[in-house]
């Protein structure tokens, strides 16, 4: 099977009613709200560059559009000194019965390196209207297996078994431009979505010497197996894809990715894919240049 993503354009987002959202609309995530509509979570930044998690609404008909950003953030900065006191960025939302679990990345600023990242969790008991942190501590702290950072968890529940694909830092390196991170995608599983057992080895690893960073993954379990989308970078991000029979061992695929367009808002970079299926078609929300500063785009897959 082969095909291509056809761009449907950038989706303007009105942030005038949210004073804390000065720039960016990074890491779009779509949660079904009703037929033909989705709650879309994004991560805007304030004037100091600190991200919070906000929410808008996507409709596809008659033409795709985003509603104005809600005035208040869904998840604000963590308390002073916490793992997420310098920013929170959305990663994945899971519905488990009456609860919704919002997996996210918490940011703190570093000294010898620019930042530290840790996977976190917030929980809603009221259908997603409000969220509270499950703990003031990270969901995935640093360990011998993940000694530098954890981030960007994506979670599926399959037959009561919780599965996670997440970003893990493998090193920091000195470079001409300062410390450069290296992180790839690893795997963990759980019985309750809160206590995770991390598996050895990388699920998606570096393929070339130039690759040094992978973004938030998205995993779909289709009739012919698993497919994962992610952004990966050398100089700039582009969106790639891999396939698997079991969700553990992956083979990169030639189709299913998205390259920068060469002109306009996503000319240099494409990143942070989120997949949604509607009316028998598969769509992708994604970001363009500068880590989401240029906004959210939509593409449709054409086999």
Torsion of CA 174, 287, 133, 182, to 10 degrees: -20
Q: Write down the pLDDT at residue 13.
A: 98
pLDDT tier for residue 256 given thresholds of 50, 70 and 90? confident
pLDDT tier for residue 257 given thresholds of 50, 70 and 90? confident
**pLDDT digits over 97-123, tens only?**
999 999 999 999 999 999 999 999 999
Q: Write down the pLDDT at residue 254.
A: 72
Task: Tell me the average pLDDT across 125-129.
Answer: 95
Q: Write down the pLDDT at residue 17.
A: 97
Q: Write down the pLDDT at residue 231.
A: 96
10 Å Cβ neighbour count for 281? 11
For residue 287, give Cα distances in angstroms to 11, 31, 120: 10, 17, 22
Task: Tell me the average pLDDT across 144-149.
Answer: 96
**Sign of the alpha-carbon torsion through 169, 170, 172, 174:** negative
**pLDDT digits over 8-23, tens only?**
999 999 999 999 999 9
Q: What is the CA radius of gyration of the chain?
A: 18
Both tokens of 157, joined, read 């529940």
Domains in the chain, CATH or no CATH each: 4-302 (2.115.10.20)
Q: Write down the pLDDT at residue 255.
A: 67
Q: Write down the pLDDT at residue 10.
A: 98
SS3 labels along 255-289: CCCECCCCCHHHCCCCEEEEEEEECCEEEEEEECC
Tell me if 152 sits within 8 A of 166, measured CB to CB: yes
User: How far, in Å, CA of 115 to CA of 123, rounded?
Assistant: 25
pLDDT over 70 percentage in the chain: 99
Look at residue 290 and tell me whether its pLDDT is greater than 70. Answer: yes
Q: Which residue has better confidence, 200 or 159?
A: 159
User: How far, in Å, CA of 71 to CA of 68, rounded?
Assistant: 9
The chain-wide mean pLDDT, for the chain, equals: 96
Specify whether the backbone of 127 is left (phi greater than 0), alpha (psi in -120 to 50) or beta: left
- Read out DSSP for the chain? ---EEEEEEEE----TT-TT--EEEEEEEEEEEETTEEEEEEEEE-TTS-B-BEEEEEE-SSS-EEPPPPSS-SB-PPPTTSTTTTEEEEEEEEEETTEEEEEEEEEEE-SSSSEEEEEEEEEESSTTS--EES-SS-SB---SSSSS-EEEEEEEEETTEEEEEEEEEEEEE--TTS-EEEEEEEEEEESSSSSEEEPSS-SB---SSS--EE---EEEEETTEEEEEEEEESSSEEEEEEEESSSSS-EE-SSS-B---SSGGGSS--EEEEEEEETTEEEEEEE-TGGGTT-EEEEEEE-
Look at residue 1 and tell me whether its pLDDT is greater than 70. Answer: no
User: How far, in Å, CA of 57 to CA of 70, rounded?
Assistant: 9
Look at residue 171 and tell me whether its pLDDT is greater than 70. Answer: yes
Look at residue 229 and tell me whether its pLDDT is greater than 90. Answer: yes
Q: Write down the pLDDT at residue 241.
A: 96
pLDDT tier for residue 188 given thresholds of 50, 70 and 90? very high
**pLDDT digits over 27-62, tens only?**
999 999 999 999 999 999 999 999 999 999 999 999
Tell me if 198 sits within 8 A of 209, measured CB to CB: no
Tell me if 283 sits within 8 A of 301, measured CB to CB: yes
Look at residue 200 and tell me whether its pLDDT is greater than 90. Answer: no
Q: Write down the pLDDT at residue 3.
A: 82
């Amino acid at each position: 099977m082969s095909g291509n993503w056809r761009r449907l354009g950038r989706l303007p987002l009105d942030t005038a009613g949210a004073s804390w959202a000065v720039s960016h609309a990074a890491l779009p995530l779509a949660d079904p709200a009703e037929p033909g509509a989705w709650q879309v979570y994004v991560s805007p930044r304030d004037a100091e560059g600190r991200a919070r998690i906000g929410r808008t609404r996507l409709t596809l008909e008659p033409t795709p559009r985003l509603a104005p950003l809600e005035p208040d953030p869904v998840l604000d900065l963590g308390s002073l000194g916490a793992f997420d006191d310098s920013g929170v960025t959305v990663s994945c939302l899971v519905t488990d019965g009456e609860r919704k679990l919002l997996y996210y990345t918490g940011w703190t600023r570093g000294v010898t390196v620019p930042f530290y990242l840790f996977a976190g969790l917030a929980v809603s008991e009221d259908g997603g209207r409000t969220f509270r942190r499950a703990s003031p501590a990270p969901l995935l702290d640093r360990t011998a297996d993940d000694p530098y950072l954890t981030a960007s968890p994506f979670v599926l529940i399959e037959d009561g078994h919780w599965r996670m694909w997440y970003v893990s830092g493998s090193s920091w390196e000195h470079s001409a431009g300062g410390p450069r991170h290296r992180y790839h995608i690893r795997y963990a599983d759980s019985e309750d979505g809160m206590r995770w057992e991390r598996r050895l080895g990388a699920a998606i690893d570096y393929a070339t010497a130039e690759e040094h960073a992978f973004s938030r993954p998205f995993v779909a379990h289709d009739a012919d197996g698993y497919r994962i989308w992610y952004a990966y970078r050398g100089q700039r991000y582009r969106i790639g894809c891999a396939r698997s029979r079991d969700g553990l061992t992956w083979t990169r695929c030639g189709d299913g990715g998205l390259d920068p367009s060469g002109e306009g808002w996503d000319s240099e970079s494409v990143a942070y894919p989120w997949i949604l299926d509607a009316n028998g078609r598969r769509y992708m929300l994604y970001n363009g240049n500068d880590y989401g500063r240029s906004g959210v785009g939509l593409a449709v897959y054409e086999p």
